[in-house]
Structure 1
């Protein structure tokens, strides 16, 4: 009877990371550095299609670990891989330009929203003024029509009075008309 073991990865498993002097040295200002050890070179006899390849020999030291190095049940006091990668990422990534960009974007967005609200307020004010101007124009047109009606009625009354005076007093009317001529109509 074979027993199958289920593999449930934990949040972080400590594994032994090889630590060689001079391999990883953090840069004091940037937080990360370059590899100061050159990669191993392959012997010139080992090539595939003209390109050199690397075949690790039994005598050369290798970074590959054995299965026992990665056994989760083994108690090792090694480096936590998640913490290690988090530290590397934290050291390699400089969030200051991104933070400045986000702050500038938030500031610009706030200014744009303020201008948009100001524009909406000005638009509402212009609409209120336009409505007031239209009401004033309508009142002015109504008053002008009333004045025109009154002037037409008054002109008819004056014409009727002139006709009656010309018929009743023709001699006096002619002398008065010569002394006081009627205004020219435009």
Structure 2
């Protein structure tokens, strides 16, 4: 099964042309360009071996400068489409929203950079504080271990003294331990 597709050209919409005097040519059969004439013919004396060369002479202007002659001669007065389309584009394109969005983007980018720098400073501060807290914790652990060692040594000494007192003075020790009972270990 084959399908065929027909091509229908899209309908073209007319361009609104300004109706100012001097924009439209006297006859509507001319091309829509200010420079719509072919380049000037070189005289026969300038040709060598069939190749035409354009050399500016003292009496006539060069080819690049001759466009102003065509324009000012009035022989071809047409609509300059590039200029017309440029004017239309400038008339319809409003750069203000783009400028506002660029300014907002720059402002947001600056605020984001400031917050990023602030975050980096806070991160460095937190790292310094963490290092200080670790050092304090290490010192505290060292002190706690020293206190634990001292308490163990003291406990051994108290236990040894109690045993010696119980052996040497058993009656007094029993009366004192009933009057002042030892604390219960948890």
Which ranges of structure 2 fall in alignment gaps of 5 or more residues?
1-15, 21-26, 40-62
* TM-score normalised according to structure 1 size: 0.61
Alpha-carbon distance in 2 for matches of 1:96, 1:152: 82
- Quote the residue 1:181 is aligned against: 181
Alignment of 1:69 with 2:32, yes or no, is no
What are the within-5 Å matches in structure 2 for residues 28-47 of structure 1? none
Alpha-carbon distance in 2 for matches of 1:86, 1:172: 119
Which structure dedicates a bigger proportion of its chain to strand? Answer: 1
Alpha-carbon distance in 2 for matches of 1:116, 1:171: 78
Q: CA deviation at 1:87?
A: 3.9
* TM-score normalised according to structure 2 size: 0.61
- Quote the residue 1:151 is aligned against: 151
Q: Deviations over 1:9-38 (max 9, x none)?
A: xxxxxxxxxxxxx93269xxxxxxxxxxxx
Q: RMSD in angstroms over aligned alpha carbons?
A: 3.1
Q: CA deviation at 1:139?
A: 0.7
Residue pair 2:166, 2:173 contacting (<8 A) in 1 also: yes
Q: Deviations over 1:129-181 (max 9, x none)?
A: 11111111111110000000000000000000001010111111001111110
Secondary structure of the residue aligned to 1:69 is: coil
Q: CA deviation at 1:124?
A: 1.0
Aligned length: 133
